Amino acid sequence: MAESAARDIYRHTGRRSYELLEASERFLESHGPISTNQAHGLENVINCEPKNINSVLGYVMHQGSKSTSRDTGFWKDLKSELDGLRKQAKEIQEELGVEAPASKAAKEQLALIHLALARDYVQHLAAHNEYRRAITGGR
């Protein structure tokens, strides 16, 4: 992907950053914080993924399968939240003026937009998680 196209993606996803911040705060308010290690692990996985969100969703499902009953719902709902960002990714792709929606290039572009939105969401989630843990003493 050309550098200017990547810049356009980040410009459009950046415009939605505040909405993602609010969504991640609401999510943590309803589920409570996770461990610092889990939050950092999630950040590491999403920041190391270069092309799409599939391995991130796999990580989230794996965490849910090995977690205690208290946080099983957290990981299941987080997967739904991240999947839900696909709709916003499609909106951004339309704003960018995709030429042939069924083409391989358009699918790759959509995957990159979805991943950029998910990275932003997870970054806010991890930061708010640390904040919540600090002010509540880890609860």
C-alpha dist (Å) from residue 22 to 29, 63, 116, 124: 10, 24, 17, 9
Q: What is the dihedral of CA 101, 116, 114, 16, to 10 degrees?
A: -90
Q: Which residues make Cβ contacts (< 8 Å) with residue 138, sequence separation at least 6?
A: 33
**Which of the pair, 102 or 83, is modelled with greater confidence?**
83
Residue 51, pLDDT score: 81
pLDDT bucket at 102, cuts 50 / 70 / 90: confident
Domain around 49: 3-136
**Which of the pair, 51 or 109, is modelled with greater confidence?**
109
Q: What is the token pair recorded at 115?
A: 């991943």
Burial class (CB in 10 A: 0-12, 13-18, 19+), 24: buried
Sign of the Cα torsion 83, 87, 88, 89 reads positive
pLDDT bucket at 100, cuts 50 / 70 / 90: low
Number of domains observed in the structure of the chain:
1
- List, for residues 11-58, the tens digit of each pLDDT value: 888 889 999 999 999 999 999 888 899 899 999 999 998 888 898 999
The percentage of residues in the chain with a pLDDT greater than 90, rounded to a whole number, is 51
Q: What is the token pair recorded at 10?
A: 């980040």
pLDDT bucket at 88, cuts 50 / 70 / 90: very high
**Which of the pair, 13 or 86, is modelled with greater confidence?**
86
